[in-house]
Every structure is written in C-alpha cells, then in structure tokens.
Amino acid sequence: MPDSKPRGKMSVEKARQLRDLERGLDRSGLQDPHPGEMKQREIRFDHARPEQVEEARLLLAGLEGLSVDPGHHHDALTVHYDIREYTLQGLETALIRQGFHLDNSLVTQLSRAIVYFCEDTQLRNMRQPERLIKKSNEIYSKAWDQHLHGDHDDTPADLREER
C-alpha cells in the first residue's frame, strides 16, 4: 500500500492507488495484470523443437531493456519489456525471421492475437494527446437542461422563491 497519495499527472494506476488507499485495501500481494508500460509476456515454442527454447533465451537476453526468464512450461520463455521499446508481435516476428518455430495451437494463436491487439491499441492511445474536458459536469448539466423531460419548471425564478 502506498505511503502517501500519488502526486503528478493522474493516470489509471494512480487512480487505483487512491481508491485503494481510501478503502484501506492492500493489493501488494496480488499479481499485477500489467496495465502500464512494463509488460510480462510468455513466448511459447513448438513442442517438437525443445532445443530452440535455450537458443531463443540466449538471443533475447542480448537485447537491451529486455529480460528473459524460464516460462511456466518447458517450451516457453517469459519476457519482461517496456512497451515503448518492444512489443510481443515484434519480438515473435523477429524470432520467426531467425528460424524459430512458435507454438501454433488454437489457444496460443488466440492469446497472441489478443495481446497484439491490446499492445497496438495501447501504443496508439499513448501517441494521442490527452483530451482534457474541464468542468465536464457542466457540459452534461447543460445538455440535460436542453433535453425535454418532465423535470423542467417553466415558472420564472422570482415567482418560485418563497416569501
């Protein structure tokens, strides 16, 4: 649990920290789903070629800003990287071009497609300027006032006041 309230520009992570701080929740022991820039992904290799896992580990370990650990399975590697420097799609494409064979089971292909989409969307969103709408509640209040509904009182303000 953070010792003090986060400072600076508000982000999703900071908003969660503030919420948890106010609720008295300690989420330090939970596995982080990696919503920020730092990612932890698993690269699964073809089951028929177990020797390529170690070769890929040596190759990937030579990349700056990327750390490689053994995966949860004997035919997998876990990579840790900053999404501003690497993407899973870029890493896997580079491995395929180097002659490595990845697992192409349906579950792995589906997981891979979801991760590719999420990382691509996150990168696009990071490049977009942040839209700041000041006093957004006023915008919705004005829109509500213009909407025809039964809650509107046409009586002039001076006649509505109690005397």
pLDDT at 135: 67
Structural domains in the chain?
35-127 (3.30.70.100)
Tens of pLDDT along 10-36? 776 777 777 777 877 665 544 444 468
pLDDT at 128 > cutoff 80 = no
- Rg value, the chain, Cα: 25
Identity of residue 163: R
Residue 56's closest CA among 44, 48, 41, 65? 44
Q: Residue 34: CA atoms inside 13 Å, Cβ hemisphere, count?
A: 15
Residue showing tokens 């213009």: 146
Residue showing tokens 């370990």: 61
Tens of pLDDT along 40-84? 999 999 988 889 999 999 999 999 999 999 988 889 999 999 999
Spatial CB neighbours of 66, under 8 Å, sequence gap ≥ 6:
60, 79, 80, 81, 85, 86, 91
Mean pLDDT of 88-93: 96
Q: In angstroms, rounded to a whole number, what is the distance separating the alpha carbons of residues 160 and 163?
A: 9
Mean pLDDT of 105-120: 95
Instruction: Please give the share of the chain, as a percent, with pLDDT higher than 70.
Output: 77
pLDDT at 149: 65
Q: Quote the tokens at residue 90.
A: 């870029």
pLDDT at 36: 82
Sheet architecture: strand order including 66-70: 38-44, 76-82, 66-70
Residue 128's alpha-carbon distances to 77, 121, 125, 131, in angstroms, are 32, 11, 5, 9
pLDDT at 2 > cutoff 80 = no
Cβ(95)–Cβ(43) below 8 Å: yes
Q: Is the pTM for the entire model greater than 0.75?
A: no
pLDDT at 31: 45
